């Protein structure tokens, strides 16, 4: 694959653009919000200049409710030889695509099992997909060339291809992704009105359990609306376990010794089942992600500052793999942490200094 077009340059689209650009693919970037496309471009994910030249592969990385329309529009424009989406649900978008008259032979539904609780191009990173499963859902209608382009994309992103039927995929992610998201939100929701004296005791346990509760509610409503029954089935089974767990806890408080021991057995059982389920969670396949080095730059809180840093880094020939921003409380300034390959850190710091940026000594 020599050329690609990413449509939707948020977390996933920009991460794909960064990975492909790092491996020499010429990537074009497009978004309904041109600011996101230009931020992605300034991070080194590709070019946001408009062009009519067709590409090898179009990667549609928009929210699930917009996938089918975006694929059909791109197909009608004839922008690519193959079209794939990366949405978290697979059956619904393909059905919509069929009913909108889309071409199912040049389209392939895919889903990288990697992400973050943060959205947008600033949260993207080139190594997001490394070693992660990336599901492909070909049908008999899928052209071999499109399947091959998708496999090449997955290999360039250093992910691990997994072929599944769309419906089996949707049931699987209901269990391993969509229900966990809701359970994380449910635990975090208990904190909304909790007393500050309790909240200030939050330790690592609740941080681990609630990280994904910070995810974008609009995106997740889209995902859950496209997979409601499989998620409701898993959640109903969890609700049965919850009812039994509550009964066991009440029994533990009983004055009756037999009831107390039954309660203890119920709690032991759920904790043991938790251990054995957790032991089945696979480690990451493949290699661990690259360890990056951080270059920290002081920026003032003014429009365009981030894009200017990214453009300066681009001119210095350095890819920014990940980025974090620390706002200084009560000040019109902040620190931007630019994560780069260790071999590029010194040259990036020197190039940014030469362009007038203040670099924080580590
Ligand atoms: N976030 C995750 O952890 C994750 C993981 C795997 C797959 N996905 C899937 O990837 C897709 C993108 O998610 P994300 O996390 O990158 O979201 P995001 O919010 O970071 O990015 C979505 C981008 O799409 C743009 N967009 C919306 N409608 C568009 C349209 N019609 N045409 C062009 N651009 C449009 C938005 O402006 C935004 O820049 C979703 O389908 C999601 O289900 C997400
Ligand atoms: O790690 C995270 O933050 C995620 O939520 C990623 C995660 C997941 O559940 O594993 C979330 C939704 C996507 O469709 C794929 C990946």
Q: Could you read off the pLDDT of 176-208 as tens digits, one per residue?
A: 999 999 999 999 999 999 999 999 999 999 999
Task: Supply the residue whose CA is at minimum distance from atom 11 of ligand 2.
Answer: 115
- Whether residue 7 has pLDDT greater than 90: yes
Residue count of the chain, please give it: 362
Cβ neighbours, 10 Å, residue 244:
14
Q: Is the pLDDT score of 286 beyond 60?
A: no
Question: Residue 86 Cα, ligand 1 centroid: separation in angstroms?
Answer: 9
Question: Which of 97, 130, 124, 94 is CA-nearest to residue 112?
Answer: 130
pLDDT confidence tier of residue 361, bands split at 50, 70 and 90: low
Average pLDDT over residues 295-311: 86
Q: What does pLDDT average to over the chain? A: 94
Q: Domain 3-165 class?
A: alpha beta
| Range from 39-43, 316-320, 352-356 carrying the lowest mean pLDDT | 316-320
Query: pLDDT tens digits, residue range 221-271?
Result: 999 999 999 999 999 999 999 999 999 999 999 999 999 999 999 999 999
d(CA 225, CA 306): 35
Cα–Cα nearest to 131, from 147, 114, 149: 114
pLDDT of residue 176: 98
More confident residue, 23 or 307: 23
Torsion of CA 350, 351, 352, 356, to 10 degrees: 90
Q: Which ligand is nearest to the CA of 222?
A: 1
Contact indicator for 186, 158 with CB cutoff of 8 Å: no
Position 2 pLDDT exceeds 50: yes
* Ligand 1 center from residue 5 Cα (angstroms): 14
CA 215 from centroid of its chain's CA atoms: 10
Say which residue the tokens 């080194």 belong to.
44
Taking the centre of ligand 2 as the mean of its atom positions, its distance from the CA of residue 304, in whole angstroms, is 30
Q: Are 123 and 116 in contact (CB under 8 A)?
A: yes
pLDDT mean over 139-153: 97
Instruction: Tell me how far apart the alpha carbons of residues 353 and 194 are, in angstroms, rounded to a whole number.
Output: 47
Banded model confidence at residue 345, pLDDT cuts 50, 70, 90: very high
User: Do the Cβ atoms of 306 and 122 come closer than 8 Å?
Assistant: yes
pLDDT of residue 175: 98
Protein residue closest via CA to atom 10 of ligand 1: 87
ipTM of predicted assembly, 2 dp: 0.98
Name which residue leads in pLDDT, 332 or 15: 15
Q: Which of 10, 216, 222 to mutate to test the pocket of ligand 1 (most atoms within 8 A of CB)?
A: 10
Tokens 């009608």 map to which residue? 76
Nearest ligand 2 atom to alpha carbon 178: 9
Give the burial class of 20: count Cβ atoms within 10 A of its Cβ; 0-12 exposed, 13-18 middle, 19 or more buried: buried
- What local confidence, expressed as pLDDT, does residue 330 receive? 62
Read off φ and ψ for residue 188, nearest 5 degrees. Answer: -65, -35
CATH class of 293-359: alpha beta
Percent of the chain residues topping a pLDDT of 90: 82
Per-residue pLDDT, 322: 80
* pLDDT at residue 352 greater than cutoff 60: yes
Residue ranges lining ligand 1, Cβ < 6 Å: 7-13, 31-33, 36, 61-64, 66, 70, 86-88, 111-112, 115-116, 119-120, 219, 223
Which ligand 1 atom lies nearest to the CA of residue 13?
16
pLDDT in tens, 48-70: 999 889 999 999 999 999 999 99
Instruction: Supply the pLDDT for residue 331.
Output: 67
What residues line ligand 2, using a CB cutoff of 6 Å? 88, 113-117, 177, 212
Whose tokens are 């497009």? That residue is: 30
321 — pLDDT class (breaks 50, 70, 90): confident
Is residue 164 within 8 Å of 138, Cβ to Cβ?
A: no
What global pTM score does this model have? Answer: 0.86
Per-residue pLDDT at 285 exceeds 60: no
Q: How far apart are CA 276 and CA 270, in angstroms?
A: 10
Task: State in Å, rounded, how far the first CA of the chain is from the last one.
Answer: 40
Please give the full DSSP string across 326-348, using - where no structure is assigned: EEPTTSSEEEEEEEE-HHHHHHH
């Amino acid at each position: 694959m020599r050329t690609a077009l990413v449509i939707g340059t948020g977390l996933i689209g920009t991460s794909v653009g960064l990975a492909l650009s790092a491996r020499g693919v010429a990537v074009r970037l497009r978004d309904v919000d041109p600011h996101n496309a230009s931020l992605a471009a300034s991070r080194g994910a590709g070019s946001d200049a408009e062009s009519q030249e067709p590409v090898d592969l179009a990667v549609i990385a928009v929210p699930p409710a917009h996938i089918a329309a975006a694929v059909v529009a791109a197909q009608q424009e004839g922008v690519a030889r193959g079209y794939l989406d990366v949405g978290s649900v697979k059956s619904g978008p393909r059905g919509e695509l069929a009913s909108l008259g889309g071409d199912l032979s040049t389209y392939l539904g895919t889903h990288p099992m990697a992400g973050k609780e943060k959205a947008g191009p600033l949260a993207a990173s080139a190594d997001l997909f490394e070693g992660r499963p990336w599901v492909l859902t070909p049908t008999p209608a899928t052209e071999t060339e499109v399947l091959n382009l998708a496999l090449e994309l997955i290999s360039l992103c250093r992910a691990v291809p997994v072929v599944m039927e769309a419906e089996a995929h949707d049931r699987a992610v209901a269990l391993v992704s969509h229900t966990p998201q809701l359970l994380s939100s449910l635990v975090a929701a208990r904190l909304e009105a909790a007393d500050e004296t309790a909240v200030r005791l939050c330790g690592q346990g609740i941080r681990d359990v609630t990280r994904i509760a910070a995810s974008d509610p609009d995106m997740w409503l889209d995902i859950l609306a496209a997979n409601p029954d499989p998620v409701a089935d898993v959640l109903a089974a969890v609700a049965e376990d919850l009812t039994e767990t509550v009964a066991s806890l009440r029994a533990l408080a009983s004055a009756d010794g037999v009831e107390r021991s039954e309660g203890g057995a119920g709690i032991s059982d759920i904790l043991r089942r938790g251990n054995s389920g957790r032991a089945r969670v696979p480690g990451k396949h493949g290699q661990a992600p690259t360890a990056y080095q951080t270059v920290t730059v002081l920026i003032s809180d003014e429009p365009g500052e981030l894009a200017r840093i990214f453009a300066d880094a681009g001119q210095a020939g350095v890819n920014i793999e990940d980025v974090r921003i620390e706002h200084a409380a009560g000040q019109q300034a902040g620190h931007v942490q630019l994560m780069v390959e260790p071999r590029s850190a010194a040259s990036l710091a020197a190039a940014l200094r030469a362009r007038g940026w203040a670099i924080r000594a580590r």
